[in-house]
Amino acid sequence: MDRTEIPLIHEIPAAGRRGVLPPSAPPEDRNTAVEALPDHLRRETPPPLPEVSELEAVRHFTRLSQRNYCIDGQFYPLGSCTMKYNPRLNEKIAAMPAFTQLHPRQEEADVQGVLRVCHDMQEVLKPLLGLDEATAAPAAGAQGEFVGMSIIKAWHEDHGTGRDEVLVPDAAHGTNPASAVLAGFKVREVKSGPDGRMDLESLRANLGGKTAGIMLTNPNTCGLFEKDIVEVARLVHEAGGLLYYDGANLNAIAGRARPGDMGFDVVHVNLHKTFSTPHGGGGPGSGPVAVSARLAPYLPTPHVVRGSDGSYRLSTPEKSIGRMLAFHGNTGVVLRAMAYALSQGGEGLRAVADHSALNANYILARLPEVFERPFGSRCMHEAVVTVRGARKEKDIRAFDVAKRLLDLGFHSPTVYFPLLVPECFLIEPTETESKDTLDRFIAAMEQIAREIESQPEVLASAPNELPTGRLDEAAAAKELNVCCRF
Ligand SMILES: *Cc1c(COP(=O)(O)O)cnc(C)c1O
C-alpha cells in the first residue's frame, strides 16, 4: 500500500480506533461495520490507557527490552541449539531492499538474484556435506527431517520394498521420531551403550526385513562422535535401509568430516544453528536438505536449478515428493547463512568446528567435581554433565542449578536432555565465546558447587534475584500471567 493511503489517526472515527476494523480499512467499510455493531457491544467510555509522555513510554519499553535475555547481551550455552553470535553483516545483507521488497509470486526473470542465492546455498552445502544435490527450501530443521523422511519413504515405495520401520537412537532429539511417524513410518528405538554411543548389538537386533532406514545425529546428542559410524552405515545399507543425518550438530565437524563420506544418504542442516542466523522463540529457521544422487529425483518442488544459459529457474524434480511449504523457503535466513558462509570461507568454517570443540572441552575439563562426567573427559562441541550424585545426597536437582545460574547472570544450559542421563546438563559454548566469558561461567558453576555443599537452601529457592521468582511451570503455561515483580 502507498503510504499516502493510510488515514491519519484523527481521520479515523473513534470506533475504528477501538479496533473494530484496522485503521487501514476504507472509511465506507469502517462506518458500515461500526453501524452494524450491536449497542451492547459498544464501549461507553474510552479504554483505560495510561497517559504517559513519549519519553516515559520509550524508557518503559527500553527497560523491558533489556530484561530480554539474548545472545547480543549474554552467554547462552544451550546445548544442541548452537547459540552463536549472529554477525551484523548478515543482518545488513538480509535487510537490503533489493531482497526485502520482493514478492514470492514475481516472475522468475525478475527474481534472478534471490534465486541465485538459494542456488548458491545449495552449492555450498553439497561439497561441505559430501552429497550430490540439495534444496534450500525447508523452513526448519524439523521440516528438513520431514522432507528427508518423506524422500526415503517415496524411494522405498518406488522400489516396492515394503519397508516401513525407521530406527531412532534413544538419545535422539524428539523431532526425529516425530518426523519419521509423520512421514508414515513405525519407529524402533536403538539403545545407547554406557559410553554414550550407539550400541551395535541393539542396532543389529533392530535391523530386519522391515528396516527402511535410521536417523542419526553425529556427533550425537551426548556430544560424542559415533566412532563406529562406517560400520553402522554398512550394517544399515546391507539390511536394505537408508541413513538420515540430523545435522543439528554440524558445527562440531563442518569442514573436518562429511556425512556423505560416513555413508549417509540424506542430511538436513539447521542454517539457524551452524550458519549463525538468529533463532530462539520458534522464530524463522531454515533446514536445507542434501541427498545422494539416487534420491535427487525425489526432492521437493520448487527446486532452484541453473540452466545452461546461466539463468536460475524453479523446477519440479522427476519423482518429487511435492510441495512442502507455500513458497521458496525462508530466504531471509538463507541470505544470512550465505553471507556467513562467504565471510568464513572453507578455512573459516573448519576453524569454527575446531574452536567450538576446544571451548566445550575447556569447560568440561574445568567444571568442579559435583558436575559428574558420565562419558569421560573428552567431548566434541558440547558436553553432558550430571548432578545425579547431588540429587541423591542433597536432593539438589539439575533444575535447581539451572535456576541458580539465572541469579548469577547466565542462561542455563539445556537440562534433562539427552533423556538417557538423569539430572543432566548439555553445555554448548560455541566458538564465538571468549576465554574470559567461559571463565566467568565456570566461576559461576564453582560458586554453585560450593553452595550445594554449604547452602543448599539458596538453590532450592532460586532464582532469588530476578523480577520473577520460581514459577509453577504447569500453572504458568496454563494460566498465563505476564505481570511480574517490577
Ligand atoms: C534443533 C534440533 C532439531 C530441530 O531443528 P529445528 O530447526 O528446531 O526444527 C533436530 N535435532 C536436533 C539434534 C536439534 O538440536
Q: Name the band, by pLDDT with cuts 50, 70 and 90, for residue 28.
A: low
Class level of CATH domain 88-344: alpha beta
Q: Name the band, by pLDDT with cuts 50, 70 and 90, for residue 187.
A: very high
Give the pLDDT of residue 370. Answer: 97
Give the pLDDT of residue 9. Answer: 46
Q: How far is the CA of 104 from the centre of ligand 1 (A)?
A: 26
CA-CA distance, 360 to 431, in Å (whole number)?
9
Give the pLDDT of residue 29. Answer: 64
Taking residues 158-178, report their average pLDDT.
97
217 lines ligand 1 (CB under 6 A): yes
Counting Cα atoms < 13 Å in the Cβ hemisphere of 113 gives 13
CA-CA distance, 159 to 247, in Å (whole number)?
27
CA-CA distance, 392 to 383, in Å (whole number)?
22
Residues of the chain with pLDDT > 70, as a percent, come to 92
Give the pLDDT of residue 15. Answer: 44
φ, ψ of residue 232 to 5 degrees: the values are -60, -45
pTM of the predicted structure, to 2 decimals: 0.87
- Which residue's alpha carbon is nearest to atom 14 within ligand 1? 248
Atom in ligand 1 nearest the alpha carbon of residue 142: 9
Atom in ligand 1 nearest the alpha carbon of residue 272: 7
How many angstroms from the chain centroid is the CA of residue 167?
A: 22
Query: How does the average pLDDT of the chain come out, rounded?
Result: 92
- Identify the sign of the CA torsion 189, 190, 192, 197: negative
pLDDT for 117-146, tens place per residue? Answer: 999 999 999 999 999 999 999 999 999 999
Taking residues 384-393, report their average pLDDT.
96
Ligand 1 pocket test target in 147, 220, 226, 246 with most atoms within 8 Å of CB: 246
The candidate with the shortest Cα–Cα distance to 339, out of 18, 124, 109, is: 124
Taking residues 230-243, report their average pLDDT.
98
User: Which three cell numbers mark 119?
Assistant: 542456488
Does the structure show a pLDDT above 60 at 1?
Answer: no
Does the structure show a pLDDT above 80 at 105?
Answer: yes
pLDDT for 250-266, tens place per residue? Answer: 999 999 999 999 999 99
Does the structure show a pLDDT above 60 at 460?
Answer: yes
Buried b (16+ CB within 10 A) or exposed e, 250-272: bbbbbbebbbbebbbbbbbbbbb
More confident residue, 205 or 35: 205
- Which residue's alpha carbon is nearest to atom 2 within ligand 1? 248
Taking residues 175-188, report their average pLDDT.
98
Q: What is the DSSP string of 274-316?
A: HT-----TT------EEE-GGGGGG--BSEEEE-TTS-EEEE-
Sheet of strand 242-246: strand arrangement: 133-135, 289-291, 266-268, 242-246, 211-217, 165-169, 186-190
Give the pLDDT of residue 12. Answer: 46
Q: How far is the CA of 80 from the centre of ligand 1 (A)?
A: 7
Taking residues 346-350, report their average pLDDT.
96
Q: Name the band, by pLDDT with cuts 50, 70 and 90, for residue 171.
A: very high
Give the pLDDT of residue 19. Answer: 44
Does the structure show a pLDDT above 70 at 392?
Answer: yes
80 lines ligand 1 (CB under 6 A): yes
Does the structure show a pLDDT above 80 at 334?
Answer: yes
CA-CA distance, 344 to 234, in Å (whole number)?
34
Does the structure show a pLDDT above 60 at 454?
Answer: yes
Atom in ligand 1 nearest the alpha carbon of residue 145: 10
CA dihedral of 425, 367, 280, 272, whole degrees rounded to 10? -110
79 lines ligand 1 (CB under 6 A): no
- Return the domain boundaries, the chain: 3-41, 88-344, 351-478
Give the pLDDT of residue 2. Answer: 46
- Which residue's alpha carbon is nearest to atom 15 within ligand 1? 80
pLDDT for 275-331, tens place per residue? Answer: 999 887 667 899 999 999 999 999 999 999 999 999 999 999 999 999 999 898 999
Taking residues 345-372, report their average pLDDT.
97
Atom in ligand 1 nearest the alpha carbon of residue 140: 7
Taking residues 1-14, report their average pLDDT.
47
Does the structure show a pLDDT above 70 at 333?
Answer: yes
Where is average pLDDT lowest: 61-75, 93-107, 160-174, 372-386? 61-75
Taking residues 428-451, report their average pLDDT.
98
- Which residue's alpha carbon is nearest to atom 8 within ligand 1? 141
Assess contact for 75 and 439: CB atoms under 8 A: no
CATH, domain range 351-478: 3.90.1150.10
Does the structure show a pLDDT above 90 at 198?
Answer: yes
Give the pLDDT of residue 38. Answer: 87
Q: How far is the CA of 248 from the centre of ligand 1 (A)?
A: 6
Count the Cβ atoms, other than its own, within 10 Å of residue 186: 12
- Identify the sign of the CA torsion 386, 389, 392, 394: negative
